[in-house]
Structure 1
Amino acid sequence: MASQNIYILGIESSCDDTAASVIYNGRILSNVVASQKIHEEYGGVVPELASRAHQQNIVPVVSQALKKANIDKSQLSAIAFTQGPGLMGSLLVGTSFAKSLAFGLNIPLIDVNHMQAHILAHFIDEKGFDKPSFPFLAMTISGGHTQIVQVTDYFDMQVIGETIDDAVGEAYDKSGKVLGLGYPAGPEIDRRAQLGNPKAYKFTKPKVNGLDFSFSGLKTAILYFIQKETTANPNFIENNLNDICASIQYTIVGILIDKLKLATKQTGIKKIAIGGGVSANSGIRKALKDGEQKFGWTTYIPKFEFTTDNAAMIAIVGYLKYLNQDFANQNIVASARLKI
């Protein structure tokens, strides 16, 4: 079947990015993302504003993806879309659009789990990037998710560890808010962390059994620490910002790596693939590379544009499902809390 000319349009609208991508036999021809700047002034994503922006963006974004891929919509083999998890209002826009377009073109509709897509982004044909072989461990880290998944096959995945409260990206953003940094704060904390001393301040790592994570206690500890220090010295943040960022990042990366070490020990699997927006973080990437030397890991880090929310990862899952003739029907609905 792979010898056919298979063109899949992928549509992603789970949060605040409207994205569309065209994939041809596993190779990305276009990957267009329209980000919503409006949320920056609120310090977080406002669901109602997000769904309205998706409605405005989806037609131009899909048109641009087709144009960049240099194909006509009549050449499409199927439409893949994010069914969930995500913000319900945002998901509804992408789901409704994908269903209508597939119906209008009389081609198959393919539902995609956003979390599976972050993992399967590793299978996009991209020069210079190796694809993991099965089985491997995937760690998905983003503003909304923190999971360790044992991946036995493309669609045989088991969550073996996840956050019991906040996601790692949220820990970055809330810490950034306390420090007066903009939203999203992760990239700025990362940038400053590289200029500071990671051992300047010590934050206690939460004690959570097994492979699960917790970040709410760390967020609270950082808040109290900043309140205490700024009471004693109002210029504390200004004078020590790089060191504070470095110490926060050192703690967060330490939590993630500790759990990965435990996961490799428990499963005996030493191949680790990461995905999700926080995987763009330089501290995490360096720690993973160090793990190759220290623990004999083989690590897989996707191209930067495939780590954050994007439609290329939706399209690759669409392609893999198309090869299996695994299609959805027109009765399918969006699901905000879809599990892997």
Structure 2
Amino acid sequence: MHPADSCVTLTCAQNTPAAAAGGPVLAIESSCDETACAILAPDGHVLGERLISQDAHAMFGGVVPEIAARAHLALLPALVRETLAEAGLAPRDLGAIAASTGPGLIGGLIVGANFSKGLALASGRPFIAVNHIEAHALSPRFPGASEEPVGFPYLLLLVSGGHCQCIAVEGVGKYRRLGGTIDDAAGEAFDKVAKMLGLGWPGGPALEKLAEEGNPQAVSLPRPLHGRPGCDFSFSGLKTAVARQIGEDVQTALPRREAADLAASFQEAVADVMADRAARALDMMTTPSALVVAGGVAANRVIRARLQEVAKAAGLPFAAPPLRLCTDNAVMVAWAAIETCRETARLGLPFPDDLKMRPRPRWPLAEMAARFGTA
């Protein structure tokens, strides 16, 4: 049975008599430039949600870690109060408090995790450290995220500004990396090409919009690693090819028609690579239940459509979170905490005391199995 099929009581344990297991989970996301808070009922129903996309980074053409951390520090207190008010709850009504504790920008992680730990200590609630990548990996299982419940194992294609990986998701805490980028992540390539075209930041959505006006066959661009064994990615060469098309000596912006054709051709090349790599990753799994895509780039409609074709050709369902849950958000963090609690209860294990866990800029998914004693 999929966890969304019934309301299950959380059974997280904490070394404090005040811990109220079984109530809603409040989660904070602050791993990059999104400041977010959400409260989920144990069945995944969203009771309250707030998200602020920091706009102070636009003038720099990318996220400035120090600015992001300071913004999280300034925004979180009011954001949490507003989310609790929307849910009609007080901290003492919560069952647990969670936060992205890695990987990500260390300054933001420290702010979010420490704020959450303080709230947990003050309210006597357990604190759950959530792996940000695991939150993305489990987000397609969020109730209502797809037409059909997504069961294990499934292939996850995680594509965002900082990550591009093919992961076999075999269960909560059970992840097997099949391949990943050897240079730039897909989202990073989108942002850099958008900057070359003078589209500003964040570049991904702006490039996709411009590409709607262009011809995806207008410019011949390479498809790095396309057709090669395995499912690794490479986007550095594609990015360089776009730069050559623009020309280093161009002092003025390209005519809009040329820029649109180049944007569309670049997007088409990325979609071709994604489809090829996903198909090969599926071949590396024995009995995948679905092809799943998550991360910010998963919001790109052209890439989604191409991956849907791959899933259909393989006779598998295609699943992706709703567009609003593709980018960093606190709903997926809370859901990952709920899934972790359920798995802990299923195995009859005491929930670990995560209050002592420090935020980590790197936190490999392979380490998550240790939480359940299966490393």
TM-score, normalisation: structure 2 = 0.86
1:212: which partner in 2? 232
2:243: which partner in 1? 223
Contact 1:79–1:102 (8 Å) recurs in 2: yes
283-292 vs 34-43, which moves further? 283-292
1:18: which partner in 2? 35
285-294 vs 91-100, which moves further? 285-294
Determine whether 1:261 maps to 2:279. yes
1:2: which partner in 2? 8
Query: Mapping of 1:130-279 within 5 angstroms?
Result: 130-207=148-225, 209-227=229-247, 230=250, 236-268=254-286, 269=288, 271-279=290-298
Give the letter for the 1:149 counterpart. I
Distance 1:61 1:184, change over 3 A: same
Give the letter for the 1:24 counterpart. A
262-271 vs 60-69, which moves further? 262-271
- Match of 2:220, SS? coil
Aligned with 2:63 (options 42, 45, 60): 45
Partners of 1:128 and 1:212 in 2: CA distance:
27
- CA offset at residue 291 of structure 1? 2.4
Determine whether 1:332 maps to 2:332. no
Partners of 2:264 and 2:289 in 1: CA distance:
28
The count of aligned residue pairs is: 338
Give the letter for the 2:283 counterpart. K
Contact 2:197–2:253 (8 Å) recurs in 1: no
Partners of 1:229 and 1:46 in 2: CA distance:
28
1:319: which partner in 2? 338
Partners of 1:266 and 1:2 in 2: CA distance:
34
Cα distance per residue 1:25-82 (max 9 Å; x no partner):
1222122111110001100000010000000011111111111112121100111110
- Match of 1:37, SS? coil
Contact 1:111–1:328 (8 Å) recurs in 2: no
Partners of 2:128 and 2:165 in 1: CA distance:
24
2:13: which partner in 1? none
Query: Mapping of 1:28-107 within 5 angstroms?
Result: 28-107=46-125
Partners of 1:64 and 1:126 in 2: CA distance:
25
- CA offset at residue 228 of structure 1? 6.3
1:301: which partner in 2? 320
- CA offset at residue 209 of structure 1? 5.0
Give the letter for the 1:199 counterpart. Q
Partners of 2:146 and 2:291 in 1: CA distance:
17
Aligned with 1:115 (options 133, 139, 144): 133
Contact 2:197–2:254 (8 Å) recurs in 1: no
Give the letter for the 1:219 counterpart. K
27-36 vs 245-254, which moves further? 27-36
Partners of 2:354 and 2:202 in 1: CA distance:
37
Partners of 2:145 and 2:279 in 1: CA distance:
29
- CA offset at residue 237 of structure 1? 4.1
Contact 1:141–1:275 (8 Å) recurs in 2: yes
TM-score, normalisation: structure 1 = 0.94
Partners of 2:311 and 2:229 in 1: CA distance:
25
Give the letter for the 1:78 counterpart. A
Contact 2:153–2:289 (8 Å) recurs in 1: no
174-183 vs 268-277, which moves further? 268-277
Percent identical pairs in the alignment equals 36
Distance 1:101 1:287, change over 3 A: same
Distance 1:252 1:139, change over 3 A: same
Contact 2:189–2:239 (8 Å) recurs in 1: yes
- CA offset at residue 159 of structure 1? 1.2
Structure 1 spans left out of the alignment, 5+ residues: none
Cα distance per residue 1:9-35 (max 9 Å; x no partner):
011100011111000012221221111
Partners of 1:218 and 1:303 in 2: CA distance:
29
Partners of 1:248 and 1:215 in 2: CA distance:
11
Partners of 1:95 and 1:89 in 2: CA distance:
10
